[in-house]
Structure 1
Amino acid sequence: MTTAPLDAKYYEAAAPRSLGERLTAAARDRIYADFLRCCAPGPETTILDIGVSDVVNDAANVLERRYPYPHRLTAAGLGTAEAFRAAHPAVAYRQIGADCRLPFPDRSFGVATSNAVLEHVGSPANQRLMLAEMLRVARTVFLTVPHRFFPVEHHTAIPLLHYADASFGLACRSLGKAEWADPRNLILMSRRRLAALVPPAETARIGFTGLPLGPFSSNLYLHIAQGQA
């Protein structure tokens, strides 16, 4: 029996060939450019991409679609990823568990990256665990999250009401999207929330990426290069 990909619900607001998909793809192209700028990977750099999607479209898995050295990539996800592996045969794939230590030794990779995953892990404690594991297995970390203060909420397409938890919860329940108001499914991320997850010993750079709207840009990135001030 064929089942829907585990992460299909994350693309409900960006249907195939829709304006939402085109905007999501444009945002991820800018995220990819910022990844290259911050991390400067070379032909020999090993990269771990955590939380890849088994949805194959123009908005998903931009690193696997565009990176010129796919044999240096290892992708990790919750599912069995048949569609992902068929679309990206040169990329190694490893299935992982939710809220668990990553199945890789310390410093296995030059870079660990993740796009639009941290907001879905269920709690600040799980977010700290995910970031700590990325810092354990790689020398450099680059992750991105949707920005809470972008005018349109990414998962529900609700405008403006997501700026406050109470109004977002009311809107979600009114529109039959109550699951997105549950922090076990979605934690709306701001610069302050992202900064609070960084271990005290690390120096992180947090910036805007994705669709550029200054302080209301669509995404935030966090970059940590361990051993560098």
Structure 2
Amino acid sequence: MSLSNILAEQIGNYDNPASIGYKLRCKRIETLISIISKVYDKSKEVRIIDIGGRKNYWQILPQEILNKYKIYITIVNLPGEILPASEEHYQFIYGDACNLKIFEDNSFHIAHSNSVIEHVGNWNNMSKFAKEVRRLAPNVYVQTPYFWFPIEPHFMCPFFHWLPRPLRISLIKNFDLGNHKRSKNVHEAATKLENYRLLDKQMLQELFPDSVINYERLFGITKSLIAIRSAEIS
């Protein structure tokens, strides 16, 4: 097994309770539960929009938490994906993360996103995404991988994202990296690379100027950034 496969299993496999990634996610959710609790105390229910999310992410919230706080989660993904059937606590819909005009301002209590903003494209798209997140709810919780963490979280290759673009394209074309199979040609490799644009703190703060930026650390090194806006501090 290659180093990138080992890293993918230990850091990127969020379905394995023994993995580092799963444990970090469980710790991360504690902050979100705190926000949920405060919202419930005021509103007696909690409406969350999860932009670009998956239901399996929310499995870290026990059923009793969903019931206790009357949590209703709307999960938005791009057209073309097969959506699960809606159920008691979940609704699944199609939508563009950069244009969610189907919802009015403050339609939800919490706008949530986990490892999505780095996938929406260029800075202009990131700005549109952030504007929509901030518009949809008074409370914001947006997590994204940190550019200066030495292991690139998608290709699971140390220092990969710091290398010159031509070298990264060459690596993607010639090697299996993380959960990505090697690309067939330069076009496929370059296109794949376009889907990943990591942010640092100043970039995330610019996108969410009224949020506090929290740090998620692994072995003392910042691995992820979380923009948090609480209705109590905004």
Please report the TM-score for the alignment, with normalisation by the length of structure 1: 0.73
Q: Which residue is equivalent to 1:50?
A: 51
Alignment partners' CA distance in 1, 2:219 and 2:76? 31
Residues 1-229 of structure 1: pairs in structure 2 closer than 5 A = 18-19=9-10, 20-21=12-13, 22-37=19-34, 40-42=38-40, 43-53=44-54, 56=56, 60-62=57-59, 67-69=65-67, 71-79=71-79, 82=82, 84-85=84-85, 90-97=89-96, 99-166=98-165, 168-169=168-169, 171-175=171-175, 176=182, 178-179=189-190, 182-183=193-194, 185-198=195-208, 202-209=209-216, 211-214=217-220, 216-225=221-230, 228-229=233-234
Report the more deviating stretch, 74-83 or 142-151.
Answer: 74-83
Q: Which residue is equivalent to 1:3?
A: none
SS at match of 1:220: strand
Number of residues of Structure 1 aligned to a counterpart in Structure 2: 205
Write out per-residue CA displacement over residues 119-168 of structure 1, whole angstroms, 9 at most, x where no aligned residue: 00001111111111111111111100011222321110111232355464
Q: Sort the Cα spacing of 1:150 and 1:47 in 2 relative to 1 into closer, same or farther, 3 A.
A: same
Report the more deviating stretch, 141-150 or 70-79.
Answer: 70-79
Checking the alignment, whether the CA contact within 8 Å between 1:145 and 1:189 is kept in structure 2 is yes
The two structures, once aligned, show a CA RMSD in angstroms of: 3.2
CA-CA distance at 1:65 after TM superposition: 6.3
Alignment partners' CA distance in 2, 1:144 and 1:101? 19
**Seq. identity, %:** 21
Alignment partners' CA distance in 1, 2:156 and 2:82? 29
The AA in structure 2 aligned to 1:159 is P
Write out per-residue CA displacement over residues 1-50 of structure 1, whole angstroms, 9 at most, x where no aligned residue: xxxxxxxxxxx9987xx434123322221221232245644251211111
Q: Sort the Cα spacing of 1:207 and 1:171 in 2 relative to 1 into closer, same or farther, 3 A.
A: farther
Checking the alignment, whether the CA contact within 8 Å between 1:28 and 1:62 is kept in structure 2 is no
Checking the alignment, whether the CA contact within 8 Å between 1:52 and 1:77 is kept in structure 2 is yes
CA-CA distance at 1:81 after TM superposition: 5.7
The AA in structure 2 aligned to 1:221 is I
- Unpaired runs of at least 5, structure 2: 14-18, 176-181, 184-188
SS at match of 2:203: helix
Checking the alignment, whether the CA contact within 8 Å between 1:124 and 1:197 is kept in structure 2 is no
- Unpaired runs of at least 5, structure 1: 1-11
Please report the TM-score for the alignment, with normalisation by the length of structure 2: 0.72
Structure number, greater radius of gyration: 2
Alignment partners' CA distance in 1, 2:62 and 2:7? 18
Alignment partners' CA distance in 2, 1:85 and 1:14? 33
Q: 1 or 2, which has the higher helix percentage?
A: 2
Checking the alignment, whether the CA contact within 8 Å between 1:99 and 1:126 is kept in structure 2 is yes
